[in-house]
Chains A and B, each alone.
Chain A
């Protein structure tokens, strides 16, 4: 393509972490005025490439050129000064400061050396108005939803005189309207000649907004393509390096469950979190939990795991009344819970894969009875193999693993306990297609083996593909239970979520 000279050129980038070769000879270039998608599975090296570019990490090999000049940034501040701004997947703003400050901190408008608060608020409001967002800019950021915080982060990045804007999964917490709004902003920026590096797991979004893409796999470059050159199927094949057959295999509806009721909740509820609900989960049954963000999905799951105390109602496990007052009690009853927030509530980043894996089992045995090292190694080898955890070295710290692989370790931790009910809260969020398919396949296999699964997910297709029945939540209330039969489609499900019942 006889395009203008690239604004950014990275050549032969290499980066090594202890035990992991994160990037190996990667080339990457970015043209002014394009939206360039960076594609790859989790662990392919996307995040590392971005962090290397913005100076969070140093590079071990290769060089970076910005507008023809060789650069090496000492940190995000230096990168920002040179015109490279980044918006990360998790909103990295200070929730204790006001919206206006979050946009302008570090570059506050000043008069005679003092911060000009009025001017700052005025400009912040104007800037957000440009993004169709009309909020009180003097309120603390923590008063607003994650989606709004994300837009504030983008407003901040846009207002810096950016030549390169990096959006690292900005859409994962936005709804359709907000995504459309973001895309409008992106197109406007593109017209101004800003180069945008865009990372997203949503292929449809990539095809809607991006001009070109670069694909990484296992830290190495696969290639650079025009969007029009590659179909979605070809793209996925290049990302995971094989055809996705697992997804196809799951297309058929799951067989009906055979076992008797495992868990029966009667009028279980917790004031302020979720209204009393009744729910029966059978052995070998996958129960999907659908509803909007904030509709009480996680709250319901936490009640069943004893992480929160129920304010009312009763629970029977295998017909016998049980009181799950703590997670320990729930674990003793064979209930396992994979948290949605795997970084904060599940993993211990500095412990190795092996140590993280055996944690729940050790906890159940009690600390006075250590698990023999040989048993540990056997278990770990078995699950690393079964779940395809990469890299397969169980001794490296888990923080060096990608999100998808961390999720698998977390899953394996509970599977070792052989639970009777496995609660999965958003197990596939922020995970790439390949790992997603593997986790879904695993859920199907587990339920075939007689395990009950409560599957919480925001992706309706996923819920439909896996579940035997779907529980619909709305405004913190269980509004419908729908058997997953021929009549249940994503449209029907969406309507149930919107209206609170099947019409």
Chain B
């Protein structure tokens, strides 16, 4: 009962633009189109600094979304990221106020975030509980913890942090970025390398493609699944550090709903919510698109900022439908 002959002729996969690149290309096209449209409509919009400002204002979101990309690629979800960001800003601000120097503060915050993520990953894996519910628990836990530290906003006046907040790194031709953007760029580069060139990264794709298959292929399922939540926890904590550079305060109400922004960025970036397919570049583009929507709406001036949400909502629908079409055609 042959489907295709295997003995002789070369079997070709259908030749066209590899389908796996289509979602990323669509997002890229969308970004370019938005940028061009903004440039036509508003004075002083189409400059490099506008794009860089999007990065400056969203460096923490980008870092959080990178962690989220790992989790979603592995077929999971992490709802705790926003709360972990808030908790990180709170811990950092409190310790700095008590006179701790910045390196141990940053180290401790990153450690706590990583441990939280790893713990949730371990519960998800060993007790076979849906990631949605476990990370929902983590979300309440982290948010609650930040309120037990303090209900008020705590300002940060420590010199290293303020230096990070105010330093401008000049690029060529009047363009500049903040140190946070540099950190986010390093995170993106390292993450892209890990996903594409290391066993851990490929295992993440394999687990997202089929957990049972990955197990039977002898891949370290437990290690991979726990690692992605650990990475997401680390990225959230680092996002929290970047946010405290940006806001110069620790507050339990920081980053409310950021988990949803991060998921939206990943999905708009073309990563399949079911896992196993997507690129980190897509996530970067996703964050850019979200940030550019905000910029457009602030240029428009008269529109309520809630229009950002409406546009993001519509975009999400479009991209999820697009994913559906692509996976349907693949069958």
Q: Which residues of A contact B (CB under 8 A)?
A: 56, 75-77, 79-81, 86, 88, 92-97, 101-102, 105-106, 108, 110, 113-115, 132-136, 139-140, 142-148, 151, 156, 173, 175, 177-178, 181, 292-294, 458
Minimum CB–CB distance for B48 against chain A, Å: 32
Shortest Cβ distance from residue B44 to the other chain A in the assembled complex, whole angstroms:
43
A81→B212 CA distance, assembly (Å): 18
Contact status of A94 and B3, CB under 8 A, knowing A75-B215, A143-B13: no
Known contacts A94-B205, A105-B206, A106-B217; decide if A144 and B7 are in contact (CB<8 Å): no
Q: Is the CB of B1 within 8 A of A458?
A: yes
Q: Which A residues touch B2, using CB under 8 A? A: 147, 175, 177-178, 292-293
* Interchain CB contact (< 8 A) of A108 among B1, B12, B199, B212: B199
* Complex interface: chain B residues within 8 A of A93 (CB): 210, 213, 217
Does the CB pair B3–A105 fall under 8 Å?
Answer: no
Q: With the chains together, A81 CA to B216 CA distance in Å?
A: 13
| Inter-subunit contact A146/B199 (CB<8 Å) | no
In the complex, A146 Cα to B208 Cα: how many Å? Answer: 20
Contact of B3 among A101, A115, A142, A293 (CB under 8 A): A293
Given contacts A96-B208, A136-B12, A292-B2, whether A106 and B198 have CB atoms under 8 Å apart is no
Determine the distance from Cα of A113 to Cα of B201 in the docked complex, in whole angstroms: 13
Quick check: A293 and B1 within 8 Å, CB to CB? Answer: yes
Determine the residue in chain A with the shortest Cβ distance to B211.
Answer: A94
Q: When the two chains form their complex, are residues B3 and A146 in contact, meaning their CB atoms are under 8 A apart?
A: yes
- CB < 8 Å neighbour of B198 from A96, A114, A156: A114
Check B11–A115 contact: CB distance below 8 A. no
Check if A96 sits within 8 Å of B276, measured CB to CB.
Answer: yes
Q: Which residue of B lies closest to A80 (CB)?
A: B218
Measured CB to CB, the closest approach of chain B to A58, in angstroms, equals 15
Set of chain A residues within 8 Å of B218, measured between Cβ atoms: 75-77, 79-81, 106
Name, among B1, B2, B10, B214, the residue most crowded by chain A CB atoms within 10 Å (CB to CB).
Answer: B1
Contacts of B213 in A (CB 8 A): 92-94
> Of residues B11, B215, B276, which shows the largest number of chain A Cβ atoms within 10 Å of its Cβ?
B11
Bound CA–CA A255/B214 (angstroms): 51
**B14 CB within 8 Å of chain A:** yes
List residues of chain B with CB within 8 A of the CB of A144: 4, 11, 13
Neighbour of B209 across the interface among A94, A139, A175, CB < 8 A: A94
Q: What chain A residues lie within 8 Å of B126 (beta carbons)?
A: none
A274 to B199, CA, bound (A): 44
The reply to whether A96 and B216 contact each other, CB–CB distance below 8 Å, is no
Query: Are A106 and B219 touching (Cβ within 8 A)?
Result: yes
Asked if residues B6 and A178 are in contact (CB atoms below 8 Å), the reply is yes
Write the nearest CB–CB distance from A286 to chain B, whole angstroms: 21
Pick from B4, B199, B202, B216: contact of A147, CB under 8 Å: B4
> For residue B215, which residues in chain A have a CB less than 8 angstroms away from its CB?
75-76
Number of A-B residue pairs with CB-CB distance less than 8 Å in the complex they form: 123
Min CB gap A96→B, angstroms: 4
Q: Are A147 and B210 in contact (CB under 8 A)?
A: no
Contact A94 B203 (CB under 8 A): no
- Interface residues of B toward A: which range? 35 or more
Whose C-beta in chain B lies nearest to the C-beta of A108? Answer: B199
A132 to chain B, nearest CB (A): 6
- Distance of A183 Cα from B196 Cα, bound (Å): 36
Contact in complex: B13, A105 (CB < 8 Å): no
* CA A80 to CA B205, docked complex, whole Å: 21
CB–CB A105/B217 < 8 A: yes
Q: Is the CB of B219 within 8 A of A115?
A: no
Task: Give the residues in chain B near A146, CB-CB below 8 Å.
Answer: 3
Residues of chain B contacted by A178 (CB below 8 angstroms): 2, 6-7
Alpha-carbon gap, A77 to B199, bound state (A): 15
How near does chain B come to A12, taking the closest CB pair, in angstroms? 26
Are B205 and A181 within 8 A (Cβ)? no
Considering the complex, give the chain A residue whose CB is closest to the CB of B277: A96
| Residues in B181-207 with C-beta less than 8 Å from chain A | 193, 196-199, 202-203, 205-206
Q: Are B199 and A92 in contact (CB under 8 A)?
A: no
Contact (Cβ within 8 A) B330 A142: yes
CB distance from B128 to the nearest CB of A (A): 13
Shortest C-beta distance, A204 to chain B (Å), equals 16
Q: Is B324 located at the chain interface by the 8 A CB criterion?
A: no
Given A92-B213, A94-B276 in contact, is the A135-B203 Cβ separation under 8 Å? no
Q: Chain A residues with Cβ under 8 A from B4's Cβ?
A: 144-145, 147-148
Interface string of B289-331 (1 = CB under 8 A from A): 0000000000000000000000000000000000000000010
Inter-chain contacts of B276 with A (CB < 8 A): 94, 96-97
How far apart are B282's CB and chain A's nearest CB, in angstroms? Answer: 15
Q: Does B39 contact A (CB under 8 A)?
A: no
B210 lies within 8 A of A95 (CB) = yes
Minimal Cβ-Cβ distance residue in A for B20: A140
Pair A115/B202 contact, Cβ less than 8 Å: yes
16 residue pairs from A and B, CB less than 8 Å apart: A86-B216, A88-B216, A92-B212, A93-B217, A94-B205, A96-B277, A102-B217, A105-B206, A105-B217, A106-B203, A134-B10, A134-B11, A135-B11, A136-B13, A147-B3, A178-B7
